[in-house]
Structures are given as C-alpha cells and as structure tokens.
Amino acid sequence: MFSPRHWLKQRVLSHVAARNDARRRVLGQERGLPPASWDATVSPEGHLIVGSCDVVELARRFGTPLYVVDERRLRKDYAAFLDGFRRQYPNVELGYSYKTNPLPDSIRVLHDCGALAEVISHFELWLALELGVPPERIIFNGPAKTAAALDLAVARRVKLINVDGLDEIDLLATTVARHGATQRIGVRVVTSVGWQAQFGLRLRTGEAREAFDRIRRLPQLLPVGLHVHLGTGIKHVPTYLQAIREMLEFARELRDATGIDLEYFDFGGGFGVPTVQPFDQWDSRLIQNNLPVGPVEADATPRIDDYARGISTLMREFYPENRLPTIAFEPGRALSSSAQSLLLEVLAVKRGRDGVTRVILNGGKNYALPTGYEYHEFLPASRMNEPLADTVNFYGPLCHPGDVLFVQKPFPRIAAGDIVAVMDAGAYFVPNQMNFSNPRPAAVIVGDGDVRVARERERFEDIVRLDRAARATTGSDARTGAGAVRIPTS
C-alpha cells in the first residue's frame, strides 16, 4: 500500500545519498580513503603492504581474523602529538590511555617512546605495574575506583590519582592514612562542554570547589591538579579551549580564595583522527535504509598544531612565562587508532537477485564494534589494483541481523578467501571485542618487514577455560575443537 510518509522518507534519503555521492567524487573518494593515509602501500600484485609486510602473506601465515599493528606508525603518531605541543609549550607530558587498546605489546612500544600510563581500573593499574612502568609514571583515573585498586595505587605511590567524586576523597584519605603516606591528587571536573553524565565534579554547581574544601582538611592529600576528559573522536579546537578556559578560571579563583596553586592540568584525550568519522544522524538513517554514508571529511580534522597553538596561548593568558604549569594529555585514539588494522577473510559472497552483493566476513561486530557508530575504511587487501566492479554490503558471521559492518561499499569483484582490511582498528576495537560464538583474534606487530606475534589467537578451550561445567582436556585440536572440552552429562 502506498504510504506518503515512506515515499517522502525515501525521497529525502535518496537526495542525501546523491549529494554524498557527488561530494565523494569531488574529494576523490570513490574508492574510499587512499592506503597512504595509514602509510600503507600496494605491491605490484595488488596486495596491501603495511609496515613493509604483505598483509595477504600475514593472513596466510598467521590466519585471520588478525590485528596488524604498524610499530613505525605508532611511534610516529606518538612523536607527532608530543612534538606538536612541545613546539608551542615548555612543560608537556603525554600519557597513553590503556583502555583504548590494551594490547600489552602496543602499550610497551608507547612506553618505550616515553608515554605515561593512564589507567582507569584495577586491572589496568595491575597491567601497568606488570609491564614495569614506574609508579611515578602512572596516572589513575576512573569514575569510581575500588578500595582494592586505591590501596594498590597508594601502596605503590603512583604519580597522580584524579578523584572523581566526593565520597572517593574520603575513601582515598583513609587509604593514604593507613599507609602513613601522602598522595598527589587531582580533581576531575566537568565543564559546560564535553561529557557530563556520571563523570567528575561539576565546576558550575560548586561541586568541584566543595571537593577542594574537603581535600584541604586532609593533610595526607596533596591537591596538585585538575583533570578533564571531554569525549572521543572530537574534531573541534574551540571545545577544548572552552573547557580549558573554565578550568583556568576555576584554578585562579581557587588560588585567590584558598592559596592552593595548582601546577598540573591534565586535559584528557578525545582527539579525533582524520580517517575515522563518527556517524551523524543522517549517516545512521542512510545505513538503516541500505544507502552509503557520507564521505569522510579528512581535511576537517584539526591538526595537533592547531590544538597546541590555541591551548598554549590560553595558558599564557592565565600564567606568566616563568610560572607556566605542566599540561598533560592522555589520548588513546590519536596515538593508536591509525597504527592498527584488522584483517578479515571473505567466507561467502551472496549475489542476491535483488542486485545486492552480500559479503560475509569471518569477523563482525564481535571484533569491530566501532564500525556501528563511526566510519572505518574497508580496503580490498588482496585486490588493491583491481577496478571497482561491485557494490557490496559487508556482514560478520554472527547469526544476528545487527551484524552489519558496511553497506553499499564500491569494491572490486571479490570471492571467498579474499582478505579485507578494516582500517583504524587501533582504538576501541580490542577492548570492545567479545566471544560471540567465536574466539578472539591474534595480533602481530610489524615494522620494516619484521613480524612478531603480540597476541596469540584464542583457542576454543580458552573460551571455556573458566567454566566449571566444561573441563578442558590437553592435546585437543584447537582448529577443529575436536576433543577440546568434556561436558559432564550429569
């Protein structure tokens, strides 16, 4: 039956899709973003090359799904961030947000570059210590910290604990007193911009001030800083400047009223990268209606220099040159996103009589959750030199209608066994992956043609290792699962 509402909706969406198409042509993005965006190249036989390694070869050697971390790119993105700020400001520290991609080998590379550890849970704190990070290089954040985690942090004398609530101040004070120590602390604040919700203490309502009044009465707590984290994938310098201005005004008022002179400003992470674009409302509607999303506005992403210039100018508005406080950042995405890709293999190609080519990959939302809310490039890693010949919908292997990875992607004609690379898999892929009917992927680190295994592929036995009902036997075949698990019948 004809529905005027449905008709109108389709007309509007088709119009938006046509406009996107035209814009894609102007931007030269008919094939998507070029491999050079990730410092990748293409071999003469049309294979994607990352870190001087042929990824089709990597897939053959290590199997798929496989994360590939490009060590050189990781180091490059770290250096670009730090140098960008150091060119504009003398006292800058840079941490890495463990939650973004807790692959210990990638974290190790970033620590080798000089990164502080920014951790938000007992596990992450433990991991940092296990990796040998000196406690005086660990910043402990998080919306609520357990007593056990605070105890460990205080016992090991971490660099800074950013308190997130009034009750946490009391818990921390008791913990520090028990250890007979003092602890440097900051207060996570909420400004008029950025994430609000369950985080931190609001500047506007007086909560942040109340926190400092409470801290002042507790001599074992040394208030040294303010912390903010505004969100993720942000591509807007004024948002940072607004938040930072509010923090600096607060710090000035605090100093005038109490004499507390803060010296450490941790402005969090949140910086977007050019090759990932959060979906807007139009994009989500287009996907639901099997239409391609808008092109990536890679040039619209501010450069680190833009942030650095704005923030350092602002700091100098509030402090004289000889008393400039330390500013710190703890990005995740900006450091790790573009250095990691996810190789998936084509399991099946279903060419529908409705003209839609549906490609089932051997990984879906179980490994690539962010593809549901932001644009990630999909490259035909085994057919890079072939012409576009198809328009493809990519799905994962989960038996779930929500396991959609990309709709209406112009692609070469592909077949089962081909390798597809999901780019920018270095932020929020690993921490969001799950065992939905499948083991989790292996990871390798590549650099200058060398490869080392960073994480082994999970085996079937690993998935049920902690289940009492299933006792793993030794010597089972991890590929077939044969004999892997004995389920007691009674």
Ligand X SMILES: Cc1ncc(COP(=O)(O)O)c(C=O)c1O
* Residue among 16 and 228 whose Cβ is closer to ligand X: 228
**Rounded to whole angstroms, how far apart are CA atoms 84 and 192?**
26
CB of 225 to ligand X, least distance (A): 14
Binds ligand X by CB under 6 A, chosen from 100, 183, 366, 433: 100
C-alpha span between 104 and 119 (Å, rounded): 13
Distances (CA, A) of 280 to 195, 283, 292, 297, 332: 17, 5, 13, 12, 22
Positions in 188-207 near ligand X (CB under 6 A)? none
* Alpha-carbon gap, residue 188 to 173, rounded angstroms: 16
Residue span binding ligand X (CB under 6 A) among the ranges 80-88, 254-262, 264-272, 290-298: 264-272
264 beta partners: 225, 326
Q: How is residue 425 written in tokens?
A: 């898999």
Q: Which residue is nearest to ligand X (CB)?
A: 269
Q: E-assigned strands of 378-475?
A: 378-379, 390-395, 404-411, 419-422, 442-447, 450-455, 471-472
**Binding pattern to ligand X, positions 440-479, x when CB under 6 A?**
----------------------------------------
Instruction: Name which of 176 and 234 has its Cβ closer to ligand X.
Output: 234
Which residue is listed with tokens 């913990």?
A: 175
Chain positions 50 to 69 lying near ligand X, rule: CB under 6 A, are none
At a CB cut-off of 8 Å and minimum separation 6, what does 203 contact?
189, 190, 191, 192, 246, 247, 250
Kindly tell me which of 240 and 394 has the beta carbon lying closer to ligand X: 240
Q: How far is the CB of 271 from ligand X (least distance, A)?
A: 6
| Strand partners for 48 | 42
Q: Does 340 help bind ligand X (rule: CB under 6 A)?
A: no
Question: Which CB, 143 or 219, lies closer to ligand X?
Answer: 143
Nearest to 268 by CA among 303, 291, 236, 243: 243
Binder among 296, 427, 444, 463 for ligand X (CB under 6 A) = 427
The Cα–Cα gap between 411 and 387 comes to 8
Structure tokens at 142: 């998080």
Q: Which of 47, 159, 209, 333 is the binder for ligand X (CB under 6 A)?
A: 333
Binding span for ligand X by CB under 6 A among 2-10, 103-111, 329-337, 343-351: 329-337
Q: Cα separation of 8 and 120, whole Å?
A: 47
Structure token digits, residue 146: 């357990």
Residue in 47, 145, 209, 229 binding ligand X, rule: CB under 6 A: 229
Minimum CB separation of residue 55 from ligand X in Å reads 25
**Which window, 102-110, 304-312, 328-336, 381-389, contacts ligand X (CB under 6 A)?**
328-336
Residue closer to ligand X by CB (options 32, 142) is: 142
232 lies in the site for ligand X, by CB under 6 A: yes
Residue 330 in the binding site for ligand X (CB under 6 A): yes
E-state strands within 144-229: 160-163, 183-190, 201-202, 221-227
Closer CB to ligand X, 197 or 399, in the complex: 197
Among 163, 328, 334, 339, the residue binding ligand X under the rule CB under 6 A is 334
386 contacts 397 by C-beta, under 8 angstroms = no
Task: Identify the sign of the CA torsion 465, 468, 473, 474.
Answer: positive
The answer to whether residue 94 forms part of the interface with ligand X (CB under 6 A) is no
Between the alpha carbon of residue 450 and those of residues 24, 53, 60, 445, 453, the distances in Å are 36, 7, 16, 8, 10
Residues 268-287 that bind ligand X (CB under 6 A): 268-271
Q: Tokens 């990352």 appear where? A: 50
Residue 203 to residues 180, 199, 243, 244, 306: CA-CA distances in angstroms? 31, 12, 10, 12, 26
From the list 331, 380, 397, 441, which residue makes contact with ligand X (rule: CB under 6 A)? 331
Q: Is 237 helix (H, G, I), strand (E, B) or coil?
A: helix
Q: Is 138 in the site for ligand X (CB under 6 A)?
A: no
Least distance to ligand X from the beta carbon of 307, Å?
Answer: 12
On whether the CB atoms of residues 212 and 254 are closer than 8 A, the answer is yes
Asked if 97 is part of the footprint of ligand X (rule: CB under 6 A), the reply reads yes
- The answer to whether 159 contacts ligand X (rule: CB under 6 A) is no
CB of 230 to ligand X, least distance (A): 9
Closest approach, Cβ 157 to ligand X, in A, equals 21
- Residue 141 or 340: which CB sits closer to ligand X? 141
**Subset of residues 102 to 131 that bind ligand X, contact rule: CB under 6 A:** 118
CB of 375 to ligand X, least distance (A): 16
- Residue 380 neighbours by CB under 8 Å, 6+ apart: 386, 411, 412, 414, 418, 420
Find the shortest distance in angstroms from Cβ 479 to ligand X: 35
How many residues lie near ligand X (CB under 6 A)?
17
Q: Tell me the closest approach of the beta carbon of residue 151 to ligand X, in angstroms.
A: 21
Cβ 351 to ligand X shortest distance, Å: 39
Binding site for ligand X (CB under 6 A): 97, 99-100, 118, 141, 229, 232, 268-271, 330-334, 427
